[in-house]
């Protein structure tokens, strides 16, 4: 996609991400080489460690930063990598004395670092798959504890597998192959991997589900699958970095990969910024310095006139306080949500009208309808919906109204696959929506907005819409064009690069509609689209929807309390009361229906009488 002659995407990833990563790499490399030049061997050692810490924190960020689930397990997975690679590269003679009971098939390989890393990557991927399968099934809160269970399981296994690891004794004789240059290469690779991963289809989908699980499912994101894939990638990276860390240390034991290590990494990631790769790097640099200073102060400091006492665990205390202060004062970390980028390269994508998808969705016949058939929902003794049947025809606007408690929300949840009906079904083009998991409903051709707006708050307006278009099977380039076109339709094109959380109420509603339209749905469900809008905004919304109806082959179901909007917009109306359908027909017919008048005005008069008496 070009704009003003400049390239916006390269390999389907924004150029700003590439240049940002390159800039960050340059900075880190300059710092590392500077340390070596100024401080000599000591500086080289320090720089190597910091580069490895950067790499490890970024491996953690690939999963935690994008999914929002903090992993406590990564240090242990690094341990797996360190022991695996160490067994392979160790000199045969040293191995005989250190590990006399090592099985023969593992002994005496004396491979080079690259071969060992390749083997470690395989082990890492396998371990990642095994741990990822249960983890991706857990809810967000439980998943964090799940990673804690992995930390313990792996730690206990490393201590227990004495034949391979010498148990809790020091595992020694690993050649120190991780030089400054190796660590620098690793850090640069990880900077690019982590920064670019954020922008991939998977990374963007995961960030969307981090911001709002329900909305992510509604645009077709399979959160479990996204979490699983990101976890496997992140764990594979972590074991590789662990292998390098092992070859930096030379001698280590299981406790080197336990709580203290992951605590350090988490503190670095959070202080710098969980949601930003640049932030994570800054956090490592800052806290590495703090740890270094505190470690020197740990033995007590002589101030000349007084001596500070020796404080055991001072670095830990410092990290704890840094973590606490960051969460209190800057919950998104010191860097906030921003990424390092060259502002002059930030280009606005062109608007492109969507080409029909060759894959799915739009190939369905146009004269189908969304059919609600005999739907009943009971919650215990309460019948929320009682044998409801109606159609939402293609090319028309169907209005759904009813007083509070009529069952509108329950009906919407049934249609969108969030609530299984007790009996009956909802079908679209022969597919039973009511039997699909929530994330498959979008692909079947139904998009929706929410009564309590659900946006991806910490994503930009463009990203909010792009993630939906990608969910419908578009490439990033196509998705950006479609997203800009939908943003322009809703009057938001000028604010494409602002984060959704900065938008005012009416704009948020419009952004949500743009996101739903980017799915290129056959049917659109709008849940109280005018709630909280002022009359001028409502008028503009009505105009936009009327234009939409004329432009696209689209069936719309609107649930609304605003009578002016629904009477003007609807071709047909369905009225619910106390779980039953009491009327269906043209707006005029419904308006004069005595049952409807009683449900709305009758009860109100009754209510007023009560108030007056």
Partner 1 sequence: MMDIILQQVLNAISLGGIYALLALGLAVVFSIVGLINFAHGELMTVAGYVLFLGVLFALPLPFAVLLAIGAAALAAVLTERLAFRPMRKADATSLLLTSFAVSAILRVLFQNGISARPKPVPLPSALSGTVNLGPVHLGAVPLASIVVTVLSLVTLNLFLKRTTMGQAMRAAAEDFQVLRLMGIKANRVIAVAFGLSGALAGISAVLWVAQRGSVDPLMGFIPVLKAFVAAVIGGLGSLPGAVAGGFVLGISEVLFQAFLPEAALPFRDAFVLSVVIAILIWRPEGLIPAKTARRS
User: What long-range pairs does 564-567 form, CB within 8 A, spacing at least 24?
Assistant: 564/538, 565/529, 565/530, 565/538, 565/541, 566/399, 566/401, 567/399, 567/591
CA gap 190, 61 in Å, rounded? 10
DSSP conformation letters of 101-129: T--GGGTT----HHHHHHHHHHHHHHHHH
Binder of partner 1 out of 32, 54, 319, 394 (CB under 8 A): 319
Query: Site residues for partner 1, window 508-527 (CB under 8 A)?
Result: 527
CB 347 within 8 A of CB 462: no
Q: What is the CA radius of gyration of the chain?
A: 29
Binder of partner 1 out of 41, 103, 105, 312 (CB under 8 A): 312
Pick the stretch among 86-94, 260-268, 340-348, 356-364 that binds partner 1 (CB under 8 A): 260-268
Closest distance to partner 1 from the beta carbon of 324 (Å): 4
- Bridge-based pairing of strands 9-10 and 13-14 is antiparallel
CA gap 101, 344 in Å, rounded? 61
Pick the stretch among 307-315, 362-370, 459-467, 477-485 that binds partner 1 (CB under 8 A): 307-315
Closest distance to partner 1 from the beta carbon of 267 (Å): 8
Query: Site residues for partner 1, window 445-474 (CB under 8 A)?
Result: 450-452
Work out whether 299 is an interface residue with partner 1 (CB under 8 A): no
Name the residue with tokens 């994008």: 66
CA gap 40, 34 in Å, rounded? 10
Work out whether 382 is an interface residue with partner 1 (CB under 8 A): no
**114, 94, 113, 99: which is closest to 173 by C-alpha?**
94
Work out whether 286 is an interface residue with partner 1 (CB under 8 A): no
Binder of partner 1 out of 160, 405, 430, 602 (CB under 8 A): 160
Closest distance to partner 1 from the beta carbon of 223 (Å): 12
Work out whether 405 is an interface residue with partner 1 (CB under 8 A): no
Pick the stretch among 6-14, 142-150, 243-251, 474-482 that binds partner 1 (CB under 8 A): 142-150
CA gap 211, 221 in Å, rounded? 12
CA gap 238, 249 in Å, rounded? 16
Work out whether 297 is an interface residue with partner 1 (CB under 8 A): no
Work out whether 266 is an interface residue with partner 1 (CB under 8 A): yes
Pick the stretch among 6-14, 55-63, 155-163, 347-355 that binds partner 1 (CB under 8 A): 155-163
Please, which residues bridge with residue 556 across strands?
Answer: 397, 524
Exposed e or buried b per residue across 342-352, where buried means at least 16 C-beta atoms within 10 angstroms of its C-beta: eeeeebebebb
CB 460 within 8 A of CB 496: yes
Closest distance to partner 1 from the beta carbon of 295 (Å): 14
**597, 566, 571: which is closest to 583 by C-alpha?**
597
Binder of partner 1 out of 1, 125, 159, 595 (CB under 8 A): 159
Work out whether 418 is an interface residue with partner 1 (CB under 8 A): yes
The residue among 162 and 604 lying less far from partner 1, judged by its C-beta, is: 162
CA gap 58, 144 in Å, rounded? 18
User: Residue count at the site for partner 1 (CB under 8 A)?
Assistant: 52
The residue among 108 and 331 lying less far from partner 1, judged by its C-beta, is: 331
CA gap 572, 588 in Å, rounded? 9
Site string for partner 1, 100-139 (x = CB under 8 A): ---------------------------------xx--xxx
**Residues engaged in binding partner 1 (CB under 8 A):** 68-70, 133-134, 137-142, 144-146, 148-149, 152-153, 156-157, 159-160, 162, 167, 214, 263, 266-267, 270, 274, 311-314, 316-317, 319-321, 323-324, 327-328, 331, 409, 412-413, 418, 450-452, 527
């Amino acid at each position: 996609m070009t704009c003003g002659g400049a390239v916006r995407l390269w390999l389907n990833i924004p150029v700003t991400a590439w240049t940002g990563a390159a800039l960050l790499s340059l900075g880190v490399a300059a710092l590392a080489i500077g340390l070596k030049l100024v401080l000599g061997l000591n500086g080289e050692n320090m720089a190597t460690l910091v580069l490895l810490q950067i790499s490890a924190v970024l491996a953690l960020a690939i999963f935690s930063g994008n999914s929002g689930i903090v992993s406590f397990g990564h240090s242990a997975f690094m341990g797996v990598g360190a022991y695996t690679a160490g067994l392979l590269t160790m000199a045969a003679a040293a191995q005989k004395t250190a590990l006399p009971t090592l099985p023969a098939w593992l002994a005496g390989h004396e491979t080079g670092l690259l071969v060992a890393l390749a083997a470690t990557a395989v082990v890492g991927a396998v371990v990642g798959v095994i741990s990822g399968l249960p983890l991706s099934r857990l809810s967000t809160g439980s998943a964090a504890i799940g990673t804690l269970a992995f930390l313990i399981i792996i730690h206990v296994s490393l201590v227990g597998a004495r034949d391979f690891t010498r148990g809790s004794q020091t595992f020694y004789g690993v050649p120190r192959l991780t030089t400054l240059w190796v660590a620098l290469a690793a850090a640069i690779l990880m900077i690019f991997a982590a920064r670019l991963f954020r922008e991939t289809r998977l990374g963007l989908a995961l960030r969307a589900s981090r911001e709002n699980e329900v909305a992510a499912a509604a645009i077709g994101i399979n959160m479990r699958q996204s979490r699983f894939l990101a976890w496997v990638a992140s764990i594979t990276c972590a074991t590789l970095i662990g292998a390098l860390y092992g070859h930096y240390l030379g001698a280590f034991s299981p406790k080197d990969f336990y709580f203290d290590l992951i605590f350090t990494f988490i503190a670095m990631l959070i202080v710098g910024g969980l949601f930003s790769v640049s932030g994570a790097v800054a956090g490592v640099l800052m806290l590495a310095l703090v740890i270094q200073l505190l470690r020197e102060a740990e033995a007590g400091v002589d101030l000349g006139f007084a001596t500070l006492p020796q404080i055991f665990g001072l670095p830990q205390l410092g990290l704890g306080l840094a973590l606490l202060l960051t969460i209190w004062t800057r919950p998104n970390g010191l860097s906030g949500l921003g990424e390092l980028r060259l502002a002059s390269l930030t280009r606005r994508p062109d608007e492109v009208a969507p080409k029909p998808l060759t894959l799915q969705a739009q190939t369905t016949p146009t004269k189908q309808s969304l059919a609600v058939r005999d739907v009943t929902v009971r919650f215990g003794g309460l019948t929320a919906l009682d044998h409801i049947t109606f159609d939402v025809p293609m090319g028309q606007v169907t209005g759904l109204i009813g007083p509070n408690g009529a069952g509108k929300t329950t009906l919407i949840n049934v249609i969108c696959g969030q609530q299984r009906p007790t009996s009956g079904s909802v079908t679209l083009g022969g597919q039973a929506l009511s039997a699909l998991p929530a994330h498959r409903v979008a692909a079947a051709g139904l998009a929706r907005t929410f009564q309590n707006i659900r946006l991806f708050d910490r994503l930009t307006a463009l990203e909010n819409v792009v993630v939906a278009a990608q969910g419908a099977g578009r490439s990033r380039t196509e998705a950006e064009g479609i997203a800009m076109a939908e943003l322009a339709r809703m009057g938001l094109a000028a604010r494409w690069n602002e984060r959704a959380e900065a938008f005012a109420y009416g704009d948020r509603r419009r952004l949500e509609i743009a996101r739903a339209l980017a799915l290129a749905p056959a049917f659109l469900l709008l849940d109280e689209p005018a709630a909280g809008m002022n009359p001028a905004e409502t008028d503009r919304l009505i105009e936009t929807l009327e234009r939409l109806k004329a432009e696209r082959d689209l069936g719309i179901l609107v649930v609304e309390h605003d009578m002016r909007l629904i009477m003007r917009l609807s071709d047909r109306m369905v009225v619910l009361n106390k779980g039953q359908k009491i009327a269906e027909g043209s707006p005029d017919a419904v308006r004069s229906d005595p049952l409807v008048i009683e449900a709305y005005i009758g009860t109100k008069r009754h209510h007023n009488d009560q108030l007056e008496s």
